[in-house]
Each structure stands twice: as C-alpha cells, then as structure tokens.
C-alpha cells in the first residue's frame, strides 16, 4: 500500500495527512496539526509531520510521495505583504505603468523603462541596448530581492526578455521572472502585474520548499516533493520555485479537490474558512470551475489560470474592530490577520497578563487595548523611511504592548506599513478568541480571551454607548458578525456567478434575517453548502441555515487542503498562436522563437510536434509519471466577400498524469 503525505501550510496551522488511494472507503490513514511558525516554517512543518507519523505509527520508508498546498502566497497578496523588486519594462512608456493597477502594485519599487520589444507579428520594434541596461541593473541590484522582465509583445517573440534575463543572471544571483514564461497573452501591463507579483513571491515559496525538504530529510523521508497550483493540479517543487505565482490559490484549490473526494458531492458551493481568508468556489460535475479571466486575489487581477474562486479577508484570526460609521454597536472583521491574543499569551504570559490587568484598571477604553506588536526575524528592507526605522527601534527585539509604545498618529500609520512588509505582526482580539470565550474552542488561553473581550466590550459606538455589556456578549457579537458576513459573501458570490450582481445591503440584510415585515424577502443558495476548515463545524451550520440550504461539513474537513494536496494530478498547458503577417506566410509564435511556414497545414503539423515534445519535457520536470496529451485547435477566419479570411489560429496542448511515486520497499 503506497502512502502519500499531504501537507498544507496555512496562516495559522500546518496540517498533515497520510493518504492511501488503495484504502477505500476511508483513504485518510492519519491526520495531525501543528501551529504554523511564520519566522521559521520548518518548525511547524516538522511538527505536523512528526505528529502524523506518531499518530499512524507507520514507517517513514513506506511513504512514496509528499505534496504540499499553501495559503502563504494568497495571504501575502491579501494582506499586502510585499518584497522589494525591480521591473524592467521594455517597449512601454510611463502611461502603461498606470494601467491594470500596475503603478499602485509597484509602489516605490524601482522601474527601468527602456526601448525594445516586438510588434504583434513578431518583428523587432526597437533594438535593445544591453550596455546601457547593464549600468542601470547594477544601480538597483543591491536594493531588491528579484527582477521582473516584460517586453511589449514578448508573448509573440521572447528574444528580448531572454536576453535581459541572461544579462541579469550574469551580473547578480537574484531570481528573474520573464513575462513570456507566465502567459502568452498580449495585455502588457497586466502581464507585468503578474510578473511583479511572481517576483515578490519567490522568496516566500522558496522558503516553504526549503523548509519542507529539510523536514523530510530530517525524518528520513526521501520522496518526490510536489506543490498544488491554483488550478488544483500538481507540479514539482523545482517547477514551482520558478513560477510561485501559480501557487496563489494553491490552498483553496487543494481544498476543492479535497472537498470533492471527502464529500462525494458533484454540484455544490464550497467555502473554506481559514485564519486569514474565506475562499469560496463552485463545484460542477465533481470538478472545480476554473476562471476564464485569471485569478484575482487581494484586488490583483492576474493572468494565472486558477479555480474560479472568490477570496475574502475574513477568517478566524481576522482583526476585530469597531465600525465607526454605524449609529449603533457594530463590528468590522478583517481584512488584516492578527495573532489571536489567546494564542500569543501562550508565548508571552507575563507580558499579556500584566498589560491586560493595567488596561482593565484604566477608566477609559482605548483602541490599543489588548494589542501587541511582535517584531519578526526578517531583516529591515531597503527603502524604509526615517519614521519606519524609529518605530522599529521603539519596538526593539521583543514583543511590546501597543499602548506602551505611545505611537503618534503618523507613527501608527508607519506601523501599518511595517506590518505589510512582514517586519512586524500584531496580536489582538479575533473571532478565534471570541470562540474561546464562548467555549467553542479551548486550545489556547481562554482566560486571556475573556479579559481581552471585557476590554473590547467597553469601547463606545457613535452614540457613546458601550459595544456590549460584557466580554461574553461582545464575543457573541463577534461570532454573529462572522456568520452574517460569511453568509453575505456566499450569497454575493452566488449572485455574481449567476450574472445578477450584488443586492443592496438593506435587502440582503433583510433576506438573511429571515424575519417578515409587511414584505417577505426570501433568497438563498440553490446549491448545497460544503464547509471546510478547522472552525467550519463551529460556524457553518448557522451559515447554511441563514442561506436556507443544506450544509455539509464532511469528515476530515479540517484537513481537506492536505487531502487535496495528494489527490490531484499533474496538468500542464501550452498554447501557440499562428498568424499570417503576409499572404502565403503562416507564422507560429513558439515559446522561444517564431517560425514561418508556407501553408497552414504544415504550420499546424509542425507546431503540434513541437508542442508535444515541449509538453512531455514540461510534464517530466513537473513530476508526472505516465503522460497523456490532448490537443485543441481553434481558428478565426471570418468570411469576407464569400471567401474565408484567415486571422489567427490557436493550437493548445494539455499534458496530464499522476505524479511519479518512489518505489516502496
């Protein structure tokens, strides 16, 4: 019996499962959890692996494959965490930086605008001055962590992107992402946005891979390592290192695959609640629906193929705040993730008890009550302002209560920026803490959760009234808000899927309240709801009731991502466009170079043979065993004056296969 080890590294927990395809109807042999250790992922990963081995009692040598899914890339985009990179933008101008949200995403990161690139037909638009580019690369290379390279129509002819990539590699050891490696689409700014995000995520995913490899070696597990991509397919760790952007929505995609395996449902709405996000998608005919326009995460619309999923900054560890716009007691949740204060208290009990006791003696509530700043181990990034350094110096090397830091308004704003850079984390009251107060969870310090809830209950609404009578009432408000917000986003997602659009907020609230007045407002989900995540059983029965649908929380819903990590297949796709720049010439825009043919049939046959070879090579690198390849051909040839006018053809090849397994002994 071949055992497969599935691991999911989330924002709060790292899950591990041992899974056997031959063990029906219960393929999950064992499961375990460990806290994700953000500063050193290896600790949490090794803890989860060790726990599942202890739980199962199996010999590590019997494991044939390890596959991981992660929400780290998704969380980084949702939370706005960024690493400093440089974009080399060839053939574009300043105005192009302000399309597709590119300038906003770049922020203060350096950009090198240079002449170069190609025309839509693949001919060189302007020569590339590599000598001039060399000095500009040297000027920025010490202040960035990676480069992104995009040339105009690089998907039609990648020669300049390849030349720039080779120049960067000759001058420094930093990672380089080229636009043509990620997408062949022609929207340059959006391609650049995708490329920039990929460059920023390389460090995050490389650290995850290295941590997992180290943990496996330490446990004597010598197996292929795979990673789930955003469309639910698997690729090798080597493949993912170069293209980490494809792992955005990795965790959510794995959860969909896991949900299908665990529930047996063919058509359903799936909602996966984690510490940072709630991820919503639709299952049709047992398969997750894919986005036709590319993954959108954290407001970034990329060109990456992924499950059609809506990701909201709403989870068990969401920041609980006071809604200052409401005229009555109301709360906000997220999108920022906090370290739950009841979890933080396990590491810093003296600091937390002393701080909460002092704040409880104060006659006035403050926004900083039950909040702490936690410095991370990341080195200070280049480009920090004087005020950023001042705040970091104030915090020092150990956690500190926010009120003790006595930050000015400007310094508090700077702290928010430091959190987005991953240099500081904030601990505070979250729905997970509220669940501890109400006795729904008991894994962490419930006493601290109650004390923090009592402090938050003293906060005032716009009318000057307390938010709640006590911490228990406040915690019930938090849980009810999470249930209501979850039902809202689920219904919004379903309406958007149906092409209806969002309902006005008062109408939506009336529908979810299910209380009739003079009018009856009745709306809900037509599909069953599958709730996933460690806290799904806590919240989702009530969410399903609010939406008037059947709610299923399957066995092992708490580790569905880890199950999905080992249940998928390697699936890769390449597409080649064939154009006709002049009569009697058919140009195939191949991945590395364009080739011209005298007739369309020859172009198709030759392109198909090249694609077949490339896909088999890709699939091998991606870790597939036996590979199956299918082709799809589409042609644009409108009839003009009674004759077809060839515009363009697209030949798409898809390679698929289960991962290669190490032979067990």
Give the DSSP per-residue string, 338-381.
-EEHHHHHHH-HHHHHHHHHHHHHSSS--TTTT-EEEE-SSPPP
**DSSP helix/strand/coil, 549:** coil
Instruction: Tell me the pTM.
Output: 0.71
| pLDDT band, residue 262 (cuts 50/70/90) | confident
Residue 663 has what pLDDT?
A: 45
Continuous H helices in 421-546: 431-437, 446-457, 471-497, 505-513, 536-546
**CA 207/CA 427 separation, integer angstroms:** 24
Judged against a pLDDT cut of 60, whether residue 488 lies above it is answered with yes
- With tokens 């001042």, the residue in question is 390
Distances (CA, A) of 10 to 85, 182, 275, 477: 25, 25, 8, 26
Query: Regarding predicted confidence, which is higher, 211 or 294?
Result: 211
SS3 per residue for 395-431: HCCCCEEHHHHCCCHHHHHHHHHHHHCCCEEEEECCH
Q: What is the pLDDT of residues 81-107, one digit of tens each?
A: 678 899 999 999 999 999 888 898 888
Per-residue pLDDT band for 665 (boundaries 50, 70, 90) equals very low
Distance between CA atoms of 141 and 597, rounded to whole angstroms?
42
Give the model's confidence band at 431: pLDDT under 50 very low, under 70 low, under 90 confident, else very high.
Answer: very high
pLDDT confidence bin for 298, thresholds 50/70/90: low
The 10s digit of each residue's pLDDT in 323-376 is: 877 767 789 998 889 999 999 999 999 999 999 999 999 999 999 999 999 999
**Whole-angstrom Cα distance, residue 96 to residue 102?**
8
Does residue 539 have a cis bond before it (omega within 30 degrees)?
A: no
pLDDT band for position 161 (cuts 50, 70, 90): very high
Q: Please give the structure tokens belonging to residue 235.
A: 């690729």
**pLDDT at res. 299:** 66
**Residues of the chain above pLDDT 70, percent:** 96
Q: What is the pLDDT at residue 352? A: 97
Could you check whether the bond before residue 25 is cis, i.e. omega within 30 degrees of 0?
yes
Q: What pLDDT shows up at residue 66?
A: 95
DSSP secondary-structure letter at 245?
G
Query: What are the C-alpha distances in Å from 69 to residues 14, 255, 319, 429, 561?
Result: 10, 9, 25, 28, 7
Q: In this predicted model, which residue has the larger pLDDT, 562 or 40?
A: 562
Q: How much is the pLDDT for 80? A: 67
Domains and CATH numbers, the chain: 82-204 (3.40.50.2300), 318-478 (no CATH), 479-559 (no CATH), 569-657 (no CATH)
Rounded to the nearest angstrom, the gap between the alpha carbon of residue 316 and the centroid of all alpha carbons in its chain is 17
How far is residue 395's CA from residue 412's CA, in Å, rounded to a whole number?
12
d(CA 537, CA 556): 11
The secondary structure of 195-239 as a DSSP string is HHHHHHHHHHHHHHHHHHHHHHHHTT----EEEE-TTS-EEEHHH
H helix or E strand, kind and range, residue 664? none
pLDDT of the residue at 78: 67
**Residue 662's pLDDT is what?**
59
Q: Is 447 left (phi over 0), alpha (psi -120 to 50) or beta?
A: alpha
481 contacts 539 by C-beta, under 8 angstroms: no
Task: Please state the rounded mean pLDDT for residues 528-540.
Answer: 91
Q: Report the distance separating Cα 383 and Cα 395, nearest Å.
A: 19
Give the separation between CA 402 and CA 368, rounded to whole angstroms: 6
- CA nearest to 89, candidates 223, 192, 171: 192
C-alpha to C-alpha distance for 244 and 145, rounded to whole angstroms? 14
Q: 159-171 and 130-140 are packed helices; what angle lies between their axes, rounded to 10 degrees?
A: 50
Q: Which of 87-91, 494-498, 593-597: highest mean pLDDT?
A: 87-91
Residue of 336, 316, 257 whose CA lies nearest to 76 = 336
Residue 277 φ/ψ, nearest 5 degrees: -130, 160
Does the pLDDT of residue 164 top 90, yes or no? Answer: yes
Q: Residue 288: pLDDT band by 50, 70, 90 thresholds?
A: confident
Report d(CA 115, CA 496) in Å as an integer: 42
Q: In the prediction, which pLDDT does 295 show?
A: 65
Distance CA 250, CA 68 (A): 9
Average pLDDT value over all residues in the chain: 89
pLDDT tens by residue, 556-584: 988 888 999 998 889 998 999 999 998 88
Confidence at 664, pLDDT banded by 50, 70, 90: very low
pLDDT at 155: 84
Q: What does the alpha-carbon distance between residue 113 and residue 203 come to, in Å, rounded to a whole number?
A: 25
């Amino acid at each position: 019996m071949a055992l497969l080890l599935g691991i999911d590294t989330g924002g709060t927990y790292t899950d591990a499962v041992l899974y056997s395809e031959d063990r029906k109807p219960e393929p999950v042999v064992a499961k375990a959890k460990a806290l994700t250790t953000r500063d050193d992922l290896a600790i949490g990963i090794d803890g989860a692996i060790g726990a599942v081995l202890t739980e199962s009692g199996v010999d590590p040598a019997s494991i044939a494959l390890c596959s991981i899914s992660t929400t780290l890339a998704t969380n980084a985009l949702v939370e706005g965490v960024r690493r400093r990179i440089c974009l080399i933008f060839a053939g574009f101008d300043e105005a192009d930086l302000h399309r597709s949200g590119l300038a906003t995403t770049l922020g203060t990161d350096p950009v090198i605008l240079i002449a170069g690139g190609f025309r839509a037909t693949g001919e060189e638009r302007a020569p590339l001055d590599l000598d001039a580019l060399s000095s500009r690369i040297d000027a920025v290379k010490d202040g960035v962590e990676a480069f992104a390279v995009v040339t105009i129509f690089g998907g039609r002819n990648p020669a300049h992107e390849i030349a720039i990539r080779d120049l960067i590699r000759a001058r420094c050891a930093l990672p380089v992402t080229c636009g043509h490696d990620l997408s062949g689409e022609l929207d340059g700014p959006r391609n650049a946005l995708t490329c920039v995000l990929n460059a920023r995520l390389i460090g995050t995913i490389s650290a995850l891979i290295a941590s997992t490899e180290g943990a496996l070696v330490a446990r004597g597990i010598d197996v292929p390592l795979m990673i789930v991509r955003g469309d639910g397919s698997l690729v090798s760790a080597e493949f993912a290192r170069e293209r980490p952007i494809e792992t955005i929505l990795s965790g959510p995609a794995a959860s969909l695959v896991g949900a299908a395996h665990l529930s047996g449902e063919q058509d359903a709405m799936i909602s996966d609640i984690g510490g940072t996000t709630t991820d919503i998608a639709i299952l049709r005919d047992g398969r997750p629906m894919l986005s036709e326009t590319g993954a959108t995460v954290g407001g970034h619309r990329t060109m990456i193929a992924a499950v059609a999923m809506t990701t909201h900054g709403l989870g068990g560890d969401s920041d609980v705040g006071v809604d200052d716009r409401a005229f009555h007691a109301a709360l906000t949740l997220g999108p920022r993730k906090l370290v739950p204060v009841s979890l933080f208290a396990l590491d810093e009990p003296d600091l937390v008890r002393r701080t909460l006791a002092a704040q409880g003696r104060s006659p006035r509530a403050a926004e900083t009550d039950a909040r702490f700043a936690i410095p991370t181990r990341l080195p200070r990034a280049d480009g920090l302002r004087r005020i950023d350094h001042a705040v970091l110096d104030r915090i020092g090397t150990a956690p500190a209560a926010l009120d003790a830091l006595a930050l000015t308004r400007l310094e508090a704003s700077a702290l928010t920026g430091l959190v987005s850079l991953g240099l500081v984390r904030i601990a505070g009251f979250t729905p997970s803490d509220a669940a501890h107060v109400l006795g729904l969870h008991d894994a962490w310090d419930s006493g601290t959760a109650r004390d923090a809830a009592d402090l938050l209950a003293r906060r005032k609404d716009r009318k000057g009234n307390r938010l709640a009578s006590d911490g228990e009432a406040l915690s019930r408000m938090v849980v009810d808000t999470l249930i209501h917000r979850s039902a809202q986003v689920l219904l919004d997602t379903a309406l958007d899927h149906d092409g209806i659009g969002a309902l006005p907020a008062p109408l939506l609230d009336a529908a979810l309240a299910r209380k009739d007045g003079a009018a009856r407002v009745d709306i809900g989900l037509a599909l069953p709801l599958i709730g996933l995540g460690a806290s799904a059983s806590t919240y989702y029965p009530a969410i399903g009731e609010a939406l008037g649908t059947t709610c299923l929380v399957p066995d092992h819903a708490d580790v569905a991502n880890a199950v999905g990590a080992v249940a998928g297949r390697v699936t890769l796709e390449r597409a080649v466009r064939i154009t006709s720049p002049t009569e009697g010439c058919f140009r195939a825009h191949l991945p590395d170079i364009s080739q011209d043919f005298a007739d369309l049939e020859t172009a198709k046959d030759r392109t198909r043979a090249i694609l077949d070879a490339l896909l088999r090579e890709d699939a091998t690198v991606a870790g597939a065993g036996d590979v199956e390849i299918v082709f799809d051909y589409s042609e644009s040839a409108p009839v003009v004056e009674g004759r077809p006018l060839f515009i363009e053809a697209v030949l798409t090849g898809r390679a698929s296969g289960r991962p290669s397994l190490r032979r067990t002994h």
